[in-house]
Amino acid sequence: MDALGSVSVALAGSGGAGVMTAGNMLLEAASHAGYYGLMTRTSGPQIRGGEAAAMLRISTFPGDGQDDAFHVLAAIDWQNVARFAAELPLAPASLILGDPAAGEPPEVFTKSGARYAPVPLKVTAAEIAGAWPNMVALGVLAGIIGLPAASLEAAARKAMKKGLEPGIAAAQRGYALAAQLPALRLAPPPARSDRWLITGNEAAGYGALRGGVRFVAAYPITPATELLEYLAPALAKVGGTLVQAEDELASINMALGASYGGVPSLTATSGPGLSLMIESLGLGVAAEVPVVVVDVMRTGPSTGIATKSEQADLGTALYGLHGDAPHVVVAPNSLEDCLAATEWAVGLAEALQVPAIVLSDQYLGQARGVVDAPALGSAAVARLTAQGGEGYRRYALTPAGVSPMAIPGTPGATYTADGLEHNERGTPSSQASDHAAQMDKRARKLAQLDPGEAWASVEGEGDTALVTFGSCTGPAREALARNGKGVKLVSLRLLAPAQPERLKKALAGVKRVLVLEQNHSGQFLRYLRAEYDLPGEVKSLRRPGPLPFRPAEIQHALAQWGSA
């Protein structure tokens, strides 16, 4: 058997087992050893004590998708872990590790044909005062993956604040136990390079700061909270301000107020919060106040499955605003792209004086990965401001549609920003001519946008196209990396304003289009059909969250066309 390019392991257990802590240390150890890696998580609905699983993929190549199946499922206990069976696919060659003291693994796992090997986690931990079974499990996993013991110890030293010595000792015991277990033959690590260990939410937050955001209004919501919590101390360090709002109606309006005051502003939320913000996003469009909303999508409708991913806010983000309200929608298509896409969105909002929505999702936002250090762009985009003077017209009908914005404090340029339709001076107007002129102006700003290459990731060549966006891009890329001859990937990053000319060029010569998305109704497909001309035969590959697409499924769908 060839050495593996990546190994996927899951560590499950119920509350208090410490599977997330151990998972994070395994990721750190892999990083220390020179590998790329990704950790995602799943958990039950309980606030404390619920079953949880850390899902890791350690690889010789960068990427943020999950593999078709897990090589190893290790459980500290099996209580309710079966609930995650759908998220933890196993193959006949997989290995199930469990503590004999916790009973046999549930049938949903064993029926895959995977081999079960009992490992005495509790007993081993009990031999060391102050040690925990999760550290033994960590050692076992590091051992069968073949990570160096030094990396394991380095990761523990970095992560553990208390119980370090017993922790290391327990991990070492586990590492030794692994010698009796079947080993995974992970290929040696790639050449060292500059890497970051970051979550998508942190990346988005950092991208916002790079884009120049210095005011954030925050109302907590899973899975966007970590983005806001990253920004609170980070903003303070760079002289910015975060205000916790009383609700999302307030947070979006606070962001608008701060931005009106000249300070680039952002808020982050998820579907329920986005719904509450919609009216005021329209205010941002009409009053031409830049603002960025990062929507870390979760399953809907309503409260849905708050902790799990879905790409189902697309329709709301694109078309949810009342009236004709041109605005920007950007979708990061990898974990590290959360940084660039958010930074870009801030720049677009500022340059075009318009609200921008960043459509991230729970998968990207909460995934923690070892990624190549992102290429960092140049200085933040500055807003076109007015110096004041006779006859200042805030909403002047400029050819570019963008008109100089006076920042409060500027003498001789006072004006009232208004959600009421207005004339060039900003004075409310109900005249058809003013409405038409201002609508044209607001549309013109976006129509004239030249996004350059950033509008999409276009990869590969062929007469079949795989068109997708957001977190579906990872598994799509991997499917094509395995066998992508004749298939071209187009992953849209700029969803609004739509770029029909660019997509037309990208799809020139294409005979078949497979549209990939993670929602029930095919929102992305409908969007493509509404805004673009898709050539040839069009098929949809979609399903609702929370299960992520796996590369094999995509390969399979393409294979039915005989192209992959």
Please give the residues from 428 up to 467 whose contact with another protein meets the rule CB under 8 A.
428
The site that binds another protein (CB under 8 A) totals a number of residues, namely 67
Contact 291, 255 (CB under 8 A): yes
Kindly tell me which residue out of 51, 153, 202, 310 binds another protein, with binding defined by CB under 8 A: 202
DSSP output for 423-482: -TTS-B---HHHHHHHHHHHHHHHHT---GGGGEEEE---SEEEEEEGGGHHHHHHHHHH
At residue 533's C-alpha, the angle toward residues 531 and 535, to 5°, is 150
Cα–Cα distance, 359 to 354 (Å, whole number): 16
Closer residue to another protein (CB): 146 or 388: 388
Q: Does 283 bind another protein (CB under 8 A)?
A: yes
Contact 441, 394 (CB under 8 A): no
Peptide bond into 301 cis (omega under 30): yes
What would the x/- binding string for another protein be over residues 395 to 424, using CB under 8 A? -----------x-xxxxxxxxxxxxx----
Q: Does 391 bind another protein (CB under 8 A)?
A: no
Kindly tell me which residue out of 109, 260, 392, 469 binds another protein, with binding defined by CB under 8 A: 260
Kindly tell me which residue out of 10, 38, 156, 258 binds another protein, with binding defined by CB under 8 A: 258
Closer residue to another protein (CB): 150 or 530: 150
Q: Does 259 bind another protein (CB under 8 A)?
A: yes
Q: Does 285 bind another protein (CB under 8 A)?
A: no
Query: In whole angstroms, how close is the CB of 251 to another protein at the nearest point?
Result: 7
Query: In whole angstroms, how close is the CB of 389 to another protein at the nearest point?
Result: 12
Show Cβ contacts of residue 508 under 8 Å, excluding neighbours closer than 6 positions.
none
Closer residue to another protein (CB): 210 or 550: 210
Per-position b or e across 334-358, b if 16+ CB within 10 A of its CB? bbbbbbbbbbbbbbbbbbbbbbbbb
Query: In whole angstroms, how close is the CB of 140 to another protein at the nearest point?
Result: 24
The residue among 332, 330, 334, 342 whose CA lies nearest residue 367 is 334
Instruction: Please compute Rg for the chain using Cα positions.
Output: 25
Contact 460, 480 (CB under 8 A): yes
Part in contact with another protein (CB under 8 A); list of ranges 280-288, 324-332, 531-539, 554-562: 280-288
Part in contact with another protein (CB under 8 A); list of ranges 14-22, 61-69, 212-220, 299-307: 212-220
Part in contact with another protein (CB under 8 A); list of ranges 4-12, 87-95, 99-107, 369-377: 369-377
Query: In whole angstroms, how close is the CB of 384 to another protein at the nearest point?
Result: 17
Kindly tell me which residue out of 287, 352, 367, 492 binds another protein, with binding defined by CB under 8 A: 287
Closer residue to another protein (CB): 210 or 441: 210
- HSE toward the beta carbon, residue 117, CA cutoff 13 A: 19
Cα–Cα distance, 289 to 214 (Å, whole number): 15
Q: Describe the strand order of the beta sheet including 328-330 as a list of residue ranges.
A: 241-244, 215-218, 265-269, 291-297, 355-361, 328-330, 494-496
Query: In whole angstroms, how close is the CB of 427 to another protein at the nearest point?
Result: 6
Closer residue to another protein (CB): 75 or 204: 204
Query: In whole angstroms, how close is the CB of 19 to another protein at the nearest point?
Result: 22
Q: Does 263 bind another protein (CB under 8 A)?
A: yes
Closer residue to another protein (CB): 32 or 83: 32
At residue 382's C-alpha, the angle toward residues 286 and 326, to 5°, is 25
Contact 476, 491 (CB under 8 A): yes
Query: In whole angstroms, how close is the CB of 167 to another protein at the nearest point?
Result: 21
The H-assigned helical ranges of 288-336 are: 314-319
Cα–Cα distance, 274 to 277 (Å, whole number): 5
Three-state DSSP at 46 gives coil
Q: Which token pair is 402? A: 């963008």
What would the x/- binding string for another protein be over residues 136 to 165, using CB under 8 A? ------------------------------
Kindly tell me which residue out of 426, 470, 484, 551 binds another protein, with binding defined by CB under 8 A: 426
| Orientation of helix 551-559 relative to helix 473-483, angle to 10° | 60
Q: Does 210 bind another protein (CB under 8 A)?
A: yes
Please give the residues from 25 up to 44 whose contact with another protein meets the rule CB under 8 A.
31
Part in contact with another protein (CB under 8 A); list of ranges 146-154, 191-199, 494-502, 512-520: 191-199
Cα–Cα distance, 378 to 212 (Å, whole number): 11
Q: Does 525 bind another protein (CB under 8 A)?
A: no
Q: Which token pair is 546? A: 């929370």
Kindly tell me which residue out of 84, 132, 206, 527 binds another protein, with binding defined by CB under 8 A: 206
Kindly tell me which residue out of 373, 436, 530, 559 binds another protein, with binding defined by CB under 8 A: 373
Strand-pair category, 215-218 with 241-244: parallel
Helix (H) or strand (E) holding 181: none
Q: Does 175 bind another protein (CB under 8 A)?
A: no
Q: Does 130 bind another protein (CB under 8 A)?
A: no
Please give the residues from 215 up to 254 whose contact with another protein meets the rule CB under 8 A.
215, 217, 234-241, 243, 245-247, 249-254
Q: Which residues bind another protein (CB under 8 A)?
A: 31, 194-198, 202, 206, 209-210, 214-215, 217, 234-241, 243, 245-247, 249-263, 265, 279-280, 282-283, 287, 370, 373, 376, 388, 406, 408-420, 426-428
